[in-house]
A and B are shown apart, each in its own frame.
Chain A
Amino acid sequence: MRVYSVGSRLCKTYNERATNRSWSHLQNFLVTYSSRNATAVDEFAEFEDFEEEFETGAAAAASEEDDGDSIEDVEVEVEDEEEDEEPALEDLELGHDEEEFEGWDAKEPVVGNNKEVPRLTITKVPMHLRTNWDSYFLEMLMLAGLAVYFLNFVVGRSKNQRLANAWFSAHKTLLEENFSLVGDDGSKDVDPNAGLIKESENVFTLWCSGRSCCEGMLVELKLLKRQDLVAVISQIVRPVTDQIQIRVNLTEMDSFVFCVAAKKTAQRLVKDMADISVFCPERRSLEKMGVSQVFSLMNEIGEVSAALIDRRMIDALNKYSDLIDCIHVSDQFTGQKQPQEETGTATKLPEPAKVLICTFNLPTKQRTPQEAADAARPLMQLVFYLLERVKRFRLGKEAKAKAINNRQKAQEAFLKSTHAARAEAAAARREEKRRQEKERIMAEDDPEKQRRWEEKENKRQMKKKGPRMKQLKVKAI
């Protein structure tokens, strides 16, 4: 390595100055940085001249020639004998002793040694909450959102309340003419002023009772969720209307299932309602009867539609086609279809009820609550009209037979589908009984009785496992 050789020559030249210490320093330095490659030619071009000068500098110890190993950053400026001619000496950042090294300029380790390693310990100072409000912009946003939500809650709630009250006051007289009990909250004593009951901020109910041909009437005002901002926003995306659902529990009604509904609602009902899906799943149009085409008919017995959809009904359906959502009359009403897992395990059909269910839309858009309530009043009258007609209507003989047949078939189908579940339940019951008997016998101290019982048990087992000679009769419940 040229630097090494130069260095050694220099030391020899100035041997009165070179000390062991400085020589070892130089050696260390050179060894440390010997890994870097550099083109010896370019780096040490400046030494060409000096080498000629130092002819006398004999054999260097520098036979350790690493191929072109040199320090990139090191500019070894070889000093002349006359220091004055060397321009760069002043520029050199030398170590502690200026005269220690001639022409050794290593910036990095020198720099490393000169300056202190900055040990900056940044002490963790928690930010003060009050100094810098601007940076809490997200928090302010969150709080503002909450405030808006609560504001909307209050406004929406009061609007729903006003709607419900307007509806009730508009219908009160009509209801009181028809029912002897209007408004009941189900508590022990009859409160004459019960009125509307608030189920939630958007659902109000009213129970009326005490009328001929019906047990009672439950009116549910299913208003929009104006109190929930999320619902209000989703209302913009998917508009829904305020609805009134009137359910009348009938006392006397012939056997049929009949439904007139708006097309979309009809689709949903056929899927969801147990009785419609079993007895009248096909949807038909009512255009032949002169009814607007927004409605579909689902009818079990043909003559029912002719009887119920009379002149007045047709007029009402056409006039209030945007307000009437669904009219459902059924003697086999069991609510919505249970999800599949439950039908598998259920052993008994739920009790069917005779109902008349009407679902109407409340026209609240661009109207005051009072106007909307008044617009809904004719619909209530329609309900009473229908009620009377259904009560009076009787099926013909053939129709009645057909209806009974349909119901029997439905019953059998249900029993078949749950046969497995029922058999399992029966087997479980038998097993339980036997186990209890066994426990009872075991508990008794009399060995004689135990032996006798065990013999009986064995005989029973043999009979079961043996060939079946008898024909087993399965009795359908």
Chain B
Amino acid sequence: MHGSPVSQADPRRPDKIVRYKAPAPLSQASGAAPGEDLTPDYMNILGMIFSMCGLMMRLKWCAWVALYCSCISFANSKVNDDTKQILSSFMLSISSVVMSYLQNPTPMSLPWATT
């Protein structure tokens, strides 16, 4: 299908320019517009929960999972998302990993391993 527009005249109308309005502030509260990807938010919360578990119950695998969750959240985040949130989640998970190893330098054992 080749093409030129149906009318041969120039369809451009410089006087009819409408500026771009980012849809985000117009949608419903807290970004709950349907169709929006909530993966970064879920992963953020999950990461925080896991890092708290890892820190308090000294579970190394929790700390590692938290680190992974923060990474996934970072990869899926939008450009205009708050970077502070993601950075803080990263820092929390890294600190939980480091603290778990400082307190107990033995190698990690998986939660279902018996030894």
Binding site for B on A (CB under 8 A): 126-129, 135-139, 142, 145-146, 149-150, 153, 177-181, 184-186, 190, 198-201, 203, 207, 209-213, 215-216, 218, 225, 227-231, 272, 312, 315-316, 319, 335-339, 378, 381-382, 384-385, 388-389
Contacts and interface: CB of A to CB of B under 8 A. Distances in A.
A187 B24 CA distance: 14
A456 B82 CA distance: 56
B19 A316 contact: no
A135 B18 contact: no
A212 B11 contact: yes
The interface residues of chain B, by DSSP majority, are classed as loop
Given A138-B108, A385-B1, 4 more contacts: A135-B107, A139-B108, A186-B19, A316-B1
11 contacts: A142-B67, A142-B108, A199-B80, A200-B78, A210-B18, A211-B13, A228-B72, A229-B75, A335-B34, A336-B35, A382-B1
Contact of A178 (B5, B21, B78, B107): B5
Interface in B1-43: 1-3, 5-7, 10-22, 33-35
B11 A178 contact: yes
A129 B77 CA distance: 36
B20 A211 contact: no
Nearest to A207: B20
A139 B98 CA distance: 12
A184 B71 CA distance: 31
A186 B1 contact: no
B50 interface: no
Contacts of A216: 18, 20
For the complex of A and B, 7 pairs with smallest distance between CB atoms: A207-B20, A184-B20, A336-B34, A180-B14, A210-B17, A200-B78, A186-B20
Contacts of A381: 1-3
Given A127-B106, A142-B64, A210 B14 contact: yes
Contact of A185 (B13, B20, B107, B110): B20
A230 B77 CA distance: 14
The interface residues of chain A, by DSSP majority, are classed as mixed
Interface in B29-63: 33-35
Contacts of A388: 5-7
A229 B69 CA distance: 12
A210 B16 contact: yes
B20 A210 contact: no
A314 to B, nearest CB: 12
Given A127-B105, A181-B17, A209-B20, A200 B1 contact: no
A209 B19 contact: yes
Contacts, number: 124
A381 B6 CA distance: 10
Contact of A149 (B71, B78, B110): B71
Given A378-B1, A385-B6, A138 B107 contact: yes
Nearest to A210: B17
Contact of A186 (B13, B15, B22): B22
A215 to B, nearest CB: 5
B109 to A, nearest CB: 8
Contacts of A211: 11-13, 16
Given A149-B71, A381-B3, A385-B3, A129 B105 contact: yes
Contacts of A137: 107
A199 B78 contact: yes
Nearest to A143: B64
Contacts of A201: 75-76
A215 B71 contact: no
A210 B79 contact: no
Nearest to B37: A200
Contacts of A229: 75
A39 B33 CA distance: 87
A184 B12 CA distance: 16
Contact of B76 (A207, A225, A384): A225
A217 to B, nearest CB: 10
A177 B17 CA distance: 14
A236 B68 CA distance: 20
A203 B76 CA distance: 10
Contacts of B79: 198-200
A136 B64 CA distance: 14
A159 B109 CA distance: 37
Contacts of A135: 107
Contacts of A215: 16, 18
Q: Which one of B2, B77, B106 has the greatest number of beta carbons of chain A within 10 Å?
A: B106
A312 to B, nearest CB: 7
B90 to A, nearest CB: 12
A45 B57 CA distance: 63
Contacts of A272: 34
Contacts of A203: 78
Contacts of A227: 75
Nearest to A384: B5
A385 B11 CA distance: 12
A190 B20 CA distance: 10
B91 to A, nearest CB: 15
B12 to A, nearest CB: 4
B70 to A, nearest CB: 10
Contacts of B110: 138
A382 to B, nearest CB: 6
